[in-house]
Chains A and B, each alone.
Chain A
Amino acid sequence: MPLDPDRWSEVERLFAAAADLDPRARARLLERECADGEVRREVERLLSHDAASTDRVVGPIREAVASTDPGARRERIGPYRIEREIGRGGMGTVYLAARDDDEYRKQVAIKIVPGGADGEDLLRRFRAERQILATLEHAHIARLLDGGTTEDGLPYLVMEFVEGEPIDAYCDRRRLPGTGSGAAPTRAGTRLMTPEYASPEQVRGGRITTASDVYSLGVLLYELLTGRRPYRLESRRLGEVERAVTDQEPARPSLVATREPADTDPGGGDTTAVRLSRSRDCLPAELRRRLAGDLDDIVLMALRKEPERRYASVEQLSEDIRRHLEGLPVLARKDTWRYRSAKFVRRNPWGVATGAAILVLIVGSGAGFFMQARRIASERDRAVAAERAARTEAATARGVTDFLVELFEVSDPSEARGREIPVREILDRGARRVRSGLRDEGEVQARLMTTMAEVYGNLGLYDAAVPLSEEALRQQRRLHGEDGPEVARVLAQVGSLHMHKGDRDAAEREIAAALEMRRRLLGPEHDDIVGSLNTLGMLRDRQGRYDDAEALHREALAMARRLHGDRHVLVGTSANNLGWVLDRKGLYEEAERVHRANLAMRRELLGADHPHVGSSLNNLGQLLGGRGRYEEAEALAREYLALSGRLDGEDSFGYSIALNNLASILKEKGEPAEAEPLQRRSLELTRAALGPEHPDTLMRMNNLANLCHDQGKLREAESLHRRVLEIHRRVLGERHPETAGSLNNLANLLWDSGRYDEAEPLYRATIAADVQSLGSAHPFVAMDYSNLAVLLRDRARVADRREAEDLFTKSVQVARSALGDAHPDVAVNEAQFGIFLVRTGRLDEGERRVREALRIFESAHQPGHFQIDMARSMLGECLTVRGRYEEAERFLVDAYEALRDKLGEGAGVTRRARAGVVGLYEAWGRPDRAAAYRAISPS
């Protein structure tokens, strides 16, 4: 029974007073202060349990608890007794176990496959796995002994386990004398090959296996990374080559690369890689920095003398390269703390603009598709896939190797020395070769085309990418029918390329179809579905359908989290996209939270120097810059710039992005003069990487034009804008959103110079283009309406009034429905509309709209944001018209001075604010003051 409340509070009081005393003091306290025996017994009992009580209480909760893992508390699986867990990962958990019914006493490794499966499916999976293991039986893969289902229905596989023996030693032990390798032979006989690429087993006349292909790729990688062959040869006589290949240990690529390359290479002059290197100033110096670590280990593992100690297959090598690119620990060496601080090759679309990176990408994804195909298949119909996979692997490996060797071989003697080989040319040559040279190998050809399309796409060369990808799609459909994970993969690629190219209708069809197919084939949740959701979200974002985009990115994020927990690359990507679209929607606070949390997660997961960390820094910086938090934004942009310098090098395309983005923040901060040199450098780098007519080059040029505009260098601004526009029209066509963007910017410049009649047709063309390509509900269209309306307003022709008013009305409606009521872009339109109303005599409504805009700016931005001053200046204009001059003066003069100090005298906003001051003094009857302000010149 409970104590009565009075006694209980006495217990509480005494317990609190006594708890921290030593036993004698406790006794004295109770003696002194407690007369009630029952209370005293209770307090003593509680005190006696005070020290040891936590476990007593928490224990049962803890023990409601254990690993959720199947078998964590399993003692047996089938006839096997579990001894301990020896590893776990995404594909299941592996236990050390022993069979003790003593059919034969032996330690084994048991892998429990997660997820339930019905008997039929299980059997198929089991057979498939066994099939794969049998086909690919190799030292790195333990022998399969047994398999079955646990009591609760989870499939398991039993594999050979050799206790305490490192895998390499195990491999050596298993090597059979005479055959030289346990690896699967890919073809009979020997293979003719240039000595440089020959593996030790080849020069000895041994058996050629998949491991030999791995070796050849290793040589190629070595060469591309270091500019040298792995061995020092005095001559190319066979005996000499054989000795070198079989006896010499290649030096670590990073050590070779940190030495200056020798002028001559006794092994055969300049290698392809050296020529490639010379053609790009970022190579090999930039690559050298990246070599130490994973790439060293990957290359050397591919080059091991004993075939069975290399990667088991090209696929495994590719997978390791892929892991390296994604910043994950690689198989080629043990996982150590060093990964956390290691530098990674930037998996940035533009990082591939180097010969080695292209190679890495091709090796990585060319055969990586094979991996992917097999992974997907394993969830669907692994038995069938396994057979096909086993057959295809050899072909793929050979196809990829041959292709690469040819691709980087310089056949034309005129190319032998000196001439630069642009990346584009290498790719085009590769594309031709894929199309013509591999006609008989459907699967290989399709995969390589997909890969080439990816490389083109990453470089923004969509015109070349799209047809390749479409051809790959046709081929996959011929091979696999309309449906299938591989078809879905290529379909998704085609869709994504169309989206980037700006062909939104095609993108819509393909992206949606890929998503639908993946949902149908892969079950409700899958990495590929996350990918498709993200792509579709990006498309919706481009269509201005921000609500839909947000929903898709949220779904992708939630799915990625369910699949992988909170810390995962895919979670990072989805969160990043969500943050982006929230920013677009004007939900700045949530966007900031999402980006900050994601930045922290990515840093922790990937280390500080990782491209994904860079993209988070960048997006967060742009967000803060847009809100007027310039100091923080600039700091982030500079951090991003420094990171890009370390990862990409200061001459790289990646660095040009960081420069561009820092310049844009400086521009918004009102430091166009400081931004201009950065912008020029960015333009230079982009032009060098992508050519003079690439959309990104044009974007940089456009930004430079705007910087000139801000500084009052109107002539240069105009000529830049006109060049951009001319190229956009020619390359992308009149109706493309990019063309519309440059039409608009040129028109802005003309409007700002008072050249209304020249600007008007450009604004009208902008509207037509945007409505057609983006639809009439897109927020860009709202801006377009407003721009034309402002022009008509400022030109002040009575005949235009009606149209101006219609345009203003529509601009506010469209903006509000696309962006909500609190978005700064809505406020811009409101304020402009307000001025129109005031000038046409509707003072109350006009002033109300301007004040509403000011309120929106004040709540959306930090104090000091230029849009707040702009709106205050506009409010001053309203007050001028009302004849409230003193009040107006305060708003107008303060706003003008603030803008002048922030953005400079030459900025359009400042000049318009100054015009407002002039207008005030004229209306007020103070012509001398008006004249003084009019006389200020923007320089």
Chain B
Amino acid sequence: MGDPRGAVTRLLQEWSAGRRGALDEILPLVYGELRRLAARYMRRERPGHTLQTTALVHEAYARLVDVEIDAASRAQFFALAAHAMRNILVDHARARLRDKRGGGAARVTLDEALVLSDEPDPRLIDLDAALNDLAAQDERKARAVELHFFGGLTYDEIAAVLGVSDSTVRGDVRLAKAWLAARLEGRGRDDAPGS
């Protein structure tokens, strides 16, 4: 494929010009870049650097897309990156869980920044499963959550990706959060009605 940078830009332009299939080709490139970036952070090659998922997605964008592209293409890129980000975090959590089960999880103190952890969190995997369930009920809302929380997209960016209005996105995210909260709380205690 050569230089992924040029490739992503080119594919986005093709997508913008109407070739829908181009997105499928971008995803592995975005995924690869994010993985590489994330792995670098996880290996802690840059001590003292706190990493927000949003920042990471933007860094991937800066590295992969080297020319000005239209807003829709840009939004698509971030949508793909949000999805990739989710997979990376969840995979990472899974892998670490395999390694560390029974090893005694360390206490985690959190500040406001969202930064990649090298510590497994089973709840992330639960969240991932709950998001899949939500997608089965209402795919758009699951995507809105993914875009907002994993990709760091703003409501209007999400609106552009999903092709709906701002206020719809707002409503979607609100309902989805409530839905997920209910689902996660309910897990293992009482089943959600209707299941």
Contact = CB atoms under 8 A, between A and B. Distances in A.
A65 B47 contact: no
Contact of B123 (A59, A92, A562): A59
Interface string A64-88: 1111111001010000000000001
A734 B86 CA distance: 65
B171 interface: yes
A836 interface: no
Contacts of B124: 60-61, 63-64
Interface string B59-79: 000010001100000000000
Contact of B47 (A16, A56, A112): A112
B115 A3 contact: no
Interface residues of B, number: 56
Contact of A68 (B41, B107, B138, B181): B41
Interface in B73-126: 89, 92-93, 106-110, 113-119, 121, 123-124, 126
Contacts of A2: 133, 136-137, 194
B149 A57 contact: yes
Contacts of A730: none
A114 B46 CA distance: 8
B121 A64 contact: yes
Given A3-B194, A46-B182, A57-B145, A63 B110 contact: yes
Interface string A651-684: 0000000000000000000000000000000000
A89 B119 CA distance: 23
Contact of A45 (B46, B113, B114, B182): B182
A60 B47 contact: no
Contact of A50 (B107, B150, B174): B174
A589 interface: yes
Nearest to A89: B48
A215 B119 CA distance: 51
A585 to B, nearest CB: 14
A12 interface: yes
Interface stretch (B15-23, B26-34, B49-57, B157-165): B49-57
B44 A114 contact: yes
A15 B178 contact: yes
Contact of B178 (A49, A59, A93): A49
B25 interface: no
A114 B47 contact: yes
A405 to B, nearest CB: 41
B155 interface: no
A48 B149 CA distance: 22
Contacts of B127: 57, 60-61
A394 B62 CA distance: 47
Interface in A22-60: 38, 41-42, 45-50, 52-54, 56-60
A54 B174 CA distance: 9
A620 to B, nearest CB: 18
Contact of A63 (B50, B121, B138): B121
Contact of B181 (A52, A66, A88, A89): A52
Contact of B192 (A45, A52, A64, A93): A45
Contacts of A57: 127, 145, 149, 177, 180-181, 184
A56 B92 CA distance: 20
B66 to A, nearest CB: 9
A115 interface: yes
A38 B182 contact: no
Nearest to B67: A590
Contacts of B136: 2
B50 A49 contact: no
Nearest to B58: A566
B194 A68 contact: no
A7 to B, nearest CB: 9
B42 interface: yes
B8 to A, nearest CB: 16
Contact of A46 (B45, B63, B107, B178): B178
B145 A16 contact: no
A42 B185 contact: no
Nearest to A525: B45
A570 B57 CA distance: 23
A19 interface: yes
A386 B98 CA distance: 44
Contacts of B45: 114-115
Nearest to A3: B194
Interface string B164-182: 0000000100110111111
Contacts of B47: 68-70, 88, 92-93, 112, 114
Nearest to B167: A16
A42 B195 contact: no
B175 A12 contact: yes
B68 A56 contact: no
Nearest to B150: A61
Contacts of A38: 193-194
Contact of A73 (B119, B123, B174, B179): B119
B97 to A, nearest CB: 12
A65 B175 contact: no
B181 A49 contact: yes
Given A45-B182, A63-B117, A16 B193 contact: no
B108 A73 contact: yes
B193 A42 contact: yes
A589 B121 contact: no
Contacts of A12: 138, 171, 175
A8 B145 contact: no
B178 A47 contact: yes
A115 B46 CA distance: 8
B174 A19 contact: yes
Contact of A88 (B48, B89, B192): B48
A65 B114 contact: yes
Instruction: Please provide the 10 A-B residue pairs with the shortest distance between their CB atoms, ordered closest to farther.
Output: A53-B181, A56-B181, A60-B123, A49-B181, A114-B47, A2-B137, A53-B177, A46-B178, A66-B117, A60-B124
Given A64-B92, A64-B124, 12 more contacts: A2-B137, A12-B138, A52-B181, A53-B182, A56-B177, A60-B123, A66-B108, A73-B109, A75-B106, A114-B45, A114-B48, A115-B45
29 contacts: A2-B133, A2-B137, A3-B137, A41-B193, A42-B194, A45-B192, A49-B179, A49-B185, A50-B178, A52-B181, A53-B177, A57-B149, A60-B121, A61-B124, A63-B124, A64-B116, A64-B117, A64-B121, A65-B53, A66-B108, A66-B109, A66-B117, A68-B49, A68-B116, A69-B49, A73-B117, A114-B44, A565-B49, A590-B68
